[in-house]
Structure 1
Amino acid sequence: MSSGLLTIGLPVMAVDLGLDDGLLLWPASVYSLASGCCLLLAGSLADLLGNRQINLIGCFGLSISILACGLARTGIEFIVFRALQGVVFSLCLPTAFSILKECLPPGKQTNIAVGCFGLGQPLGFSVGLVLGGLFEATAPGWRVGYYLTAGLAFILSLVNLVNLPSTLQRAPWSWQRFRAEIDWVGLLLSSGCLGLFSYVCSAITSDTAAIKKPQIIALLALAGALAPMFLFWMNRQEKHGRPALIPNSIWQNKAFTSICLVVLLSWAVLNGMETFLSLFFQEVQDLPPIQAAIRFFPNIIIGIILNFGTGVFVDRLRADHLVIVTSLLSAGSPLLMALIQAHWSWWSCAFWAVLISPLSADVIFTVANLLISDLFTPTTQGLASAVFNTVAQFGTSIGLTVFAILSASVTKQSKYENKASPEALMQGYRAVFWMSFGMMICGCGVSAWGLRKIGKVG
Structure 2
Amino acid sequence: MTTTTTTTTTTTVLLPRFRAVIVTVQLCGLMFFSSFCNGIVVVALPAMQSGLGLDEGLLVWPSSSYYLTAGSCLLLAGSIADAAGAKRVQLVGSLLAAAFTLGCGLARTGGELIAFRALQGVTNAIISPSSISIISSSLEEGRPRNMGFACLGFSQPLGFGVGLVLAGVLTDTIGWRPAFYLAAAASLALFLLSIWALPPDPRRPEADQPVWRRLALHIDWVGLLFASTGLAMLSYVLASMSSDINNIHQAPSIVLLVISGFSIPAFAAWMHYQSKNNRTALIPNSLWRSRVFTSSCILILLTNAITNCMELYSSLFFQQVQGISALGASIRVLPSLLAGVLTSILTGIFVNRMPVLWTVLISSALSATAPLLMAFIRTDQVYWENAFFGQILSPISCDMLFTVGLLIISDVYPKHMQALGGAVFNTCAQLGAAVGLSVAQVVASSVTSNVASSSADKSSPDALMKGYRAAFWLMFGCMVAVCFVSALGLRKVGVIGVKRD
Q: CA deviation at 1:92?
A: 0.8
The residue that corresponds to 1:240 in the other structure is: 277
Q: CA deviation at 1:368?
A: 0.9
Structure 1: distance between partners of 2:114 and 2:306:
22
SS at match of 1:456: coil
| 2:239–2:435 CA contact under 8 A, matched in 1 | no
The residue that corresponds to 2:263 in the other structure is: 226
Q: Which runs of 4+ in 1 moved over 6 A?
A: none
Indicate which of 173, 177, 185 corresponds to 2:210: 173
Relative distance call for 1:402 and 1:242 in structure 2 (3 A) is same
The residue that corresponds to 2:132 in the other structure is: 97
Q: CA deviation at 1:12?
A: 0.8
Q: CA deviation at 1:277?
A: 0.4
Structure 2: distance between partners of 1:403 and 1:380:
35
The residue that corresponds to 2:121 in the other structure is: 86
| 2:81–2:419 CA contact under 8 A, matched in 1 | no
Look up the equivalent residue of 2:238 and give its one-letter code.
Answer: C
2:472 paired with 1:437: no
Q: CA deviation at 1:159?
A: 1.1
CA displacement, residues 104-130 of structure 1 (integer Å, 9 cap, x when unaligned): 111122212221221211211111011
| 2:164–2:334 CA contact under 8 A, matched in 1 | no
Look up the equivalent residue of 1:82 and give its one-letter code.
Answer: R
| 1:54–1:91 CA contact under 8 A, matched in 2 | yes
Structure 1: distance between partners of 2:270 and 2:353:
41
Q: CA deviation at 1:410?
A: 0.6
2:496 paired with 1:457: yes
- Range that drifts further, 280-289 or 214-223: 214-223
CA displacement, residues 234-283 of structure 1 (integer Å, 9 cap, x when unaligned): 21122112222222222122101101101110000000000000000000
Look up the equivalent residue of 2:46 and give its one-letter code.
Answer: P
Alignment of 1:30-429 (within 5 A): 30-139=65-174, 141-170=175-204, 171=207, 172-414=209-451, 415-429=454-468
Relative distance call for 1:297 and 1:38 in structure 2 (3 A) is same
- Range that drifts further, 183-192 or 284-293: 183-192
Relative distance call for 1:376 and 1:242 in structure 2 (3 A) is closer
Look up the equivalent residue of 1:418 and give its one-letter code.
Answer: D
SS at match of 1:413: helix
Q: CA deviation at 1:383?
A: 2.9
| 1:280–1:429 CA contact under 8 A, matched in 2 | yes
The residue that corresponds to 2:30 in the other structure is: none
Structure 1: distance between partners of 2:125 and 2:251:
34
Q: TM-score, normalised by structure 1?
A: 0.97
Look up the equivalent residue of 2:201 and give its one-letter code.
Answer: T
Structure 1: distance between partners of 2:211 and 2:294:
35
Relative distance call for 1:17 and 1:322 in structure 2 (3 A) is same
Relative distance call for 1:407 and 1:47 in structure 2 (3 A) is same
2:487 paired with 1:448: yes
Structure 1: distance between partners of 2:477 and 2:343:
24
Q: TM-score, normalised by structure 2?
A: 0.89
| 1:48–1:173 CA contact under 8 A, matched in 2 | no
Relative distance call for 1:135 and 1:128 in structure 2 (3 A) is same
Structure 2: distance between partners of 1:305 and 1:53:
32
Structure 2: distance between partners of 1:281 and 1:416:
22
Relative distance call for 1:321 and 1:380 in structure 2 (3 A) is farther
- Range that drifts further, 428-437 or 151-160: 151-160
CA RMSD of aligned residues (A): 1.4
Unaligned 5+ segments in structure 2 are 1-35
Relative distance call for 1:182 and 1:16 in structure 2 (3 A) is same
Structure 1: distance between partners of 2:71 and 2:236:
15
Structure 1: distance between partners of 2:482 and 2:63:
23
Q: CA deviation at 1:174?
A: 4.2
Structure 2: distance between partners of 1:61 and 1:46:
16
Structure 2: distance between partners of 1:219 and 1:389:
23
Unaligned 5+ segments in structure 1 are none
The residue that corresponds to 2:48 in the other structure is: 13
The residue that corresponds to 2:33 in the other structure is: none
Structure 1: distance between partners of 2:170 and 2:285:
48
Relative distance call for 1:374 and 1:190 in structure 2 (3 A) is closer
Identical-pair percentage: 45
Relative distance call for 1:349 and 1:416 in structure 2 (3 A) is farther
* Aligned residue pairs, count: 457
